[in-house]
Structure 1
Amino acid sequence: MAKDKTTEAASEAADLVSVVVLKGKHLRHDGEDYAQNTRVQLSEADSKRLIALGFVKSLSDLQQELEGAGPQEVSVTQADSQTSITTSDPASPPPENGAD
């Protein structure tokens, strides 16, 4: 008995993972080019491999990072043709490769 194509397509769609191409990276997948900050739907196996290589990050991980980051205030002042920029939180973002 032949497989139902709609069932097979639905099964494949359920296995897809939404990832984002990291800054400074470029991805070519299934003949399509994806620049940095582009969202891509990949199979679980492909996404795991590209995450390990440091090319992409899962969308859910990025959303969790953003939820954990507190609000930041920026102040810009100008006096005597000198501009000063200060922030309320000088913390730097964690490295993309996981190293400290």
Structure 2
Amino acid sequence: MGWIAVSARDSTPDAEIDPRFGRAEWFVLFDPAAQRWSCLSNRDAQAQAQGAGPAVVERLAKAHVVKVVTGSIGPKAARALSAAGIAAIEGAQGRTVRESLGLIPEASGARTS
């Protein structure tokens, strides 16, 4: 198993989900096996005119992310995620990172920090 990444408006498990994938400010990462948290800044992607989604996928793949939780993913990013073997759960919004991970069976321990 690897990391689960959630697009977020801040760098903590209690941050609100950012519904944008490629332009999210942060990705909060959770490792279900080790029950630990990390974060990845995505501020560089916000300045890109195009290709933010695929660039983010490349960074997430290097971080050993196996699943992404976010609001919506564009077609280029979706193709990049598929090619990288990273599963995606779309439609997440109105929750915190921690709350969203509580809905994923393999991340059920995410409710405690």
TM-score between both structures, scaled by the size of structure 2: 0.23
Specify the structure having the higher radius of gyration (Cα). Answer: 1
Structure holding more strand per residue: 1
Structure number with greater CO (CA < 8 Å, separation at least 6) is 2
TM-score between both structures, scaled by the size of structure 1: 0.25
